Structure 1
Amino acid sequence: MTSHRPFGLPAAALLLLAVVGCSSTDAAAPVPVPSPPAEEAAFCRALHEELPKTLSGFDRNDPEPESDLTAGWGNGAIVLRCGVPRPEKMSDPQAQGLEVNGVGWMLEVRDSDGPRFTSTYRKAYVEVSLDERFAHDTGPLTGLAGPVARAVPKSL
């Protein structure tokens, strides 16, 4: 006697599991929204309007909660926060920095993620966090330097 196993049900279950496992939402992870003074917030709102729709091959996908003070690309691959407090590391004479297209950035190396950069000598601090794919790549700063330079004036 031959036993027949119902292949339709397990196949359908596997297909459903595969679809659920591979599906993702387009929502980026929540990001803390800075609380800058009004003047800095105005620069940040102007920056928000200048930011590119794509950056380093990633589409813009702003994090939650929605704010003119934050932006993101690639579901968290690149996250920008404007109006952050001045990082303590900026007081360290050994802090590493670089200039990209006229905008100065201080580098912070993070153990578990990619680098974080904070703009220097601007009337509002702009923080850019990159995931581990950018451990040795400052490419996103090239796409952000122009908007930062246009929207956030230099400070003395």
Structure 2
Amino acid sequence: MAREPRVPRFLAALPAPVRWLALPLALSCTVVVLLGSWGAPAKIEVPTPTGRAATYCQALAAALPQELLGHARKDPSPASPYVAAWASSPRVVLRCGVERPEQLNGEHAKDISPTIDGVTWWSEKLDDGGYRLTTTLRGANVELTVPGGSFANPLDPVAALNGLVKANVP
């Protein structure tokens, strides 16, 4: 003898067509909420260097690796020789030819910045716990954004790319 499935009391009070649609509707709403929460990746502003800075940035772009510390390169669209990104979830972004950070003209001008093998990086702590590091005293400003949680040490990507920056952006 087949046993009839039990219907929870709150569903039993509803008309049959509503009960039949309750589960598919709940699943559909869950999928919509999940897809909506992922959202589109943040838009990356593409710098527009000119003159020698543009030449240095193009040389750097040609030298950048397809993999950074085990993370594949996934540049944003549309492609630009001034922006590179690696899928480290969240992704690490390098922008070449950016403007000098405003903070360097104010009270932070005398802050101590790490120098790695002759390249000085000014660091700025981000709201997500990551860092934005920008080279100083170079032919073009190179900015590396390392979001919180992408690497155990936010200077790891800087150290990995430092030699390429030094060789291509005097």
Same fold (TM over 0.5): yes
Equivalent of 2:138 in 122, 145, 152: 122
- One-letter code of the match for 2:51? A
In our comparison, the structure showing a higher alpha carbon Rg is 2
RMSD: 3.5
Tell me how far apart the structure 1 counterparts of residues 70 and 115 of structure 2 sit (CA, whole Å).
22
**Secondary structure of 2:85's partner?**
strand
Matching of residues 98-113 of structure 1 within 5 Å: 98-113=114-129
Q: Extract unaligned runs of 5+ from structure 2.
A: 6-22
Moved over 6 A (4+): none
What is the TM-score of this pair, normalised by structure 1?
0.76
Tell me how far apart the structure 2 counterparts of residues 80 and 138 of structure 1 sit (CA, whole Å).
13
More helix by share: 2
Tell me how far apart the structure 1 counterparts of residues 162 and 97 of structure 2 sit (CA, whole Å).
16
Say which is worse superposed, 37-46 or 78-87, in terms of deviation.
37-46
Question: How many angstroms does 1:28 deviate by?
Answer: 6.0
Matching of residues 140-155 of structure 1 within 5 Å: 140-153=157-170
Q: Extract unaligned runs of 5+ from structure 1.
A: 4-9
| 1:35-66 deviation line (CA, Å, top 9, x unaligned) | 11222111100000111111122111112221
Match of 1:84 in 2: 98
What is the TM-score of this pair, normalised by structure 2?
0.71
